[in-house]
Every structure is written in C-alpha cells, then in structure tokens.
C-alpha cells in the first residue's frame, strides 16, 4: 500500500484580488497566502508519508518579480527530499510563460516532464508508471493525449496533464481532449490541472481536477486543497480532498424578501456572516454579499447603497477576520412600473426595454470601442482571473436595476417639479 498527493494550480506568489480598497485588510496574510497553502501541502505529504507528490501545472504565476519565488520552492522541495519523497511536475500555461522558470535548477528529487514529447518514469518500488508532458508555450491548443502511450497492465499507471478537458466555464481551452481519449489509455488515475474548481470527473478510471490550493479572488470560493490517493494491491482504495487554504472566499446570498426594515436586513446579514465564518474553520474570510429578492426596501437599498456598504463592513469587522469584498444589490420592487403606469405608457416601455437589454461584451465594445483597445493592454493573467470587461450575469442584472432606479428617480423628480 502507498499514498500520493495530487495538487495543481499552485500559482506561487500570485496576488489575491478584491481587498485593495480596504486599509484594514490583512495584507500580510494575503501576500503570503499561496506560500502558506503550499507549506500546508508539504506538511501533509510529510505527515501522510506520501510516496510521491504530483503537481499538474501552473506551479508559478508567470514571470517572478525576483528569484525569491524559486528559492522558496527549492527550499520546500528540500524538505521533501530529506523525507525521501519525490515530486513530479508538468508545467502549465502560466509556467510556460515564465522565462526565469526555465533556468531554475531543481533538486534531484524533483522531476519536470519534458515539453517536446511525453515522458515516462517507472517507480519500481511501488509498481507505478508515470506519464506526462509539459506545456511548451503559454497557449497549447493541440490534443496532447494522443501522444501518451498505452498503460502497462502490470503497473499502476498515472497520467499527468494540464488541460481544459472538453471545456470548463471560465477557463481557456488549453490542451483540449475527450474523456474517451483519457479512458482509452488504460491508466488507473489521471492527475489533471488547469481547472480551479475541484472535480472528480469519473471514478473508473479516476479522472480528477483537485482544484487550486488557495482561492485568489471571488470566483474561487469555498474549500481549496489537494487530493490524497491511497493505492493497495494495484487499485485505488480511497480518494480524499484535503483542505490546504489559509484564507477563504465566499459568496453569500441574502434574501431580503422577508425584511420590512433596514435593521432587519442588517440582522440577517450578520446571521449569514456568522454562519459562513463558522464553516471556514477559523480561516480569515472574504465575502461578496448579494442582496436579492422582492422587497419593499428595494428603492431605499439603491438610494443608500454607499451607507449600507459601510454598515456591512462594520458588521464583518465586528466578527473578526471577516471582510466584505463587495455588496451587490439585485432586488426588485413588489410591484413593477405596470402598477403605476398604463400598459402602453412610454415609461413602462422604457423599463421593459432595459429589462430586455443584454449587456454582452460585444455590445459593450460597440458602444465604447476604446474598451477593446484598453482591454488589449491589460496583462493576460488579469483577464483570465477576473476580466473587468466580462462581468458576471449577476453583476449585469444589478446594473440593469441600477439603471432603472436612476431613470425612475429622475422621472419622478421631474414630475414633482412640474406639479
């Protein structure tokens, strides 16, 4: 029997995004989060006496500011070497974009799979065959799986691959391949990387995305970590998710439908934040609040959103180690414009037109062509993580409501002046 760890998308020294505007944010914890999560990975490997560790791409986060990132990694690999633990790595798109990475001398217990062809390593003491191919460039659009050899039926076969598989929302289509192609190789376990959300794609054979080890922004919520695999007599007997993250991101939905006052809403927000904090097991927590539902408070929420944001922040701070990344107001009135205006009135037509408007990226670019020029100047990694020109549907819905509230307020004030 032996165990191994499968991790991916470490993104060492990648900045966490979303708290830049807050002076009281835990900047030291934010800056060190990826390293501390990786320390937890190393410690887990030592505690579990892992036979080896697999890192399925994006160990780094493009070019380093200096060599400290590489020195840190080498020192942690030295700890594993002293314990007799080997490490096998395939580089991903972020690793391939780094020029410094290519000149880093790795410790002798670390094996980086080649990028020109599929490499094979046999671990006789465990009866294991490992196969992998690294990215040669940032954007790899070829199906790398077709070059992987057939598994040896006398061994426990593991494939390492950084891939989008057949496509995953929010991830570039790098090294695309089909699930059937993976299964056809006769491997016992596919250690995948690139997708930051944990997913056990199938279990026969095991095809696993472990997710990243530390959430970096609000699109990477929930528990983050690695996968611990136990093998006995040539077959997988257990696959466990192990938490490694040191700071957690959460999306909290607050249903304001039952709130008849702002005080009641604030009490509800406090209750939800307390529950989320408890589920984070003592980790610092960064939250996006989404206030939704049909409520008579709708107009007041939009009018007083700056003040409410400060109220939410105050509640979070009072709980300790909780920060509000953003509050999105996505509520609706109990009765729409049709209850006030006739069905064929210009005002109702305007409101319906706003509701039906689809703020797609393409239409934004048509409205303001300079957007695309500015977007092209932004770093690719920024656009990949949280593209400001491709907001989420929820944010677009909130934008529509804000536009409606703004127009209705102006129309009503104009009406009062005329009367």
pLDDT band at residue 409, thresholds of 50, 70 and 90? low
Alpha helices in 141-261 (DSSP H): 179-184
Max mean pLDDT among 42-51, 143-152, 301-310, 317-326 falls in 42-51
pLDDT band at residue 176, thresholds of 50, 70 and 90? confident
- Closest listed residue to residue 17, CA positions, set 215, 258, 223, 289: 215
Integer angstrom CA distances of residue 342 from 202, 280, 356, 408, 415: 55, 50, 19, 15, 16
pLDDT band at residue 339, thresholds of 50, 70 and 90? very low
pLDDT tens digits for range 253-283? 999 998 989 999 999 999 999 999 999 988 9
Buried-state track 162-189, b at ≥16 Cβ within 10 A, e below 16: bbbbeebeebbebbbbeeebbeebebbb
Instruction: Say whether pLDDT at 218 is over 80.
Output: yes
Q: Which residues make Cβ contacts (< 8 Å) with residue 47, sequence separation at least 6? A: none
Question: What pLDDT score was predicted for residue 20?
Answer: 64
pLDDT tens digits for range 85-117? 999 999 887 666 455 555 678 899 999 999 889
Instruction: Say whether pLDDT at 309 is over 80.
Output: yes
- Cβ–Cβ under 8 Å, residues 198 and 241: yes
- Domain spans of the chain? 2-243, 249-418
pLDDT tens digits for range 347-367? 666 656 656 665 554 445 455
- Per the prediction, the chain carries an average pLDDT of 82
Q: What is the pTM of this model?
A: 0.80
The CATH architecture to which 2-243 belongs is 4-Layer Sandwich (3.60)
Question: What pLDDT score was predicted for residue 380?
Answer: 47
- Closest listed residue to residue 191, CA positions, set 228, 217, 147, 152: 228
């Amino acid at each position: 029997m032996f165990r191994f760890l499968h991790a991916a998308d470490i993104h060492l020294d990648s900045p966490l995004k979303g708290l830049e505007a807050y002076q009281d944010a835990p900047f030291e914890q934010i800056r060190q989060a990826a390293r501390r999560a990786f320390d937890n990975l190393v410690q887990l490997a030592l505690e579990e006496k892992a036979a080896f560790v697999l890192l399925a791409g994006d160990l780094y986060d493009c070019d380093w500011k200096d060599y400290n990132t590489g020195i840190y990694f080498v020192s942690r690999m030295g700890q594993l070497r002293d314990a007799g633990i080997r490490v096998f790595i395939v580089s991903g798109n972020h690793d391939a974009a780094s020029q410094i990475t290519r000149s880093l001398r790795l410790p002798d217990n670390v094996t980086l799979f080649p990028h020109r062809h599929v490499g094979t390593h046999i671990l006789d003491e465990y009866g294991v065959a490992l196969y992998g191919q690294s990215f040669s460039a940032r954007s790899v659009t070829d199906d790398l799986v077709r070059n992987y050899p057939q598994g040896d039926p006398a061994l426990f076969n593991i494939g390492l691959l950084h891939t989008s598989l057949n496509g995953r929302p929010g991830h570039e289509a790098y090294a695309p391949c089909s699930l059937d192609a993976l299964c056809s190789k006769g491997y016992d376990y596919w250690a995948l990387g690139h997708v930051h959300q944990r997913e056990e794609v199938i279990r026969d054979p095991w095809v696993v995305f472990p997710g990243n080890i530390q959430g970096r922004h609000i699109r990477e919520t929930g528990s983050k970590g690695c996968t611990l695999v136990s093998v006995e007599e040539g077959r997988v007997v257990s696959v466990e998710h192990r938490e490694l993250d040191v700071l957690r991101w959460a999306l909290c939905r607050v249903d304001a439908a039952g709130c008849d006052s702002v005080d009641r809403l604030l009490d509800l927000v406090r209750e939800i934040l307390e529950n989320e904090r408890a589920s984070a097991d003592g980790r610092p927590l960064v939250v996006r609040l989404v206030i939704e539902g049909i409520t008579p408070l709708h107009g007041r929420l939009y009018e007083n959103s700056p003040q409410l944001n400060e109220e939410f922040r105050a509640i979070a701070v009072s709980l300790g180690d909780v920060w509000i990344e953003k509050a999105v107001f996505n509520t609706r009135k109990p009765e729409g414009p049709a209850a006030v205006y006739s069905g064929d009135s210009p005002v109702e037509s305007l409101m319906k037109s706003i509701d039906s408007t689809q703020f797609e990226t393409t239409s934004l670019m048509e409205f303001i062509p300079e957007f695309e020029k500015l977007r092209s100047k932004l770093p690719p990694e920024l656009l990949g993580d949280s593209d400001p020109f491709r907001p989420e549907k929820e944010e677009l819905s909130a934008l529509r409501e804000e536009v409606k509230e703004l127009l209705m307020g102006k129309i009503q004030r104009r009406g009062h002046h005329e009367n």
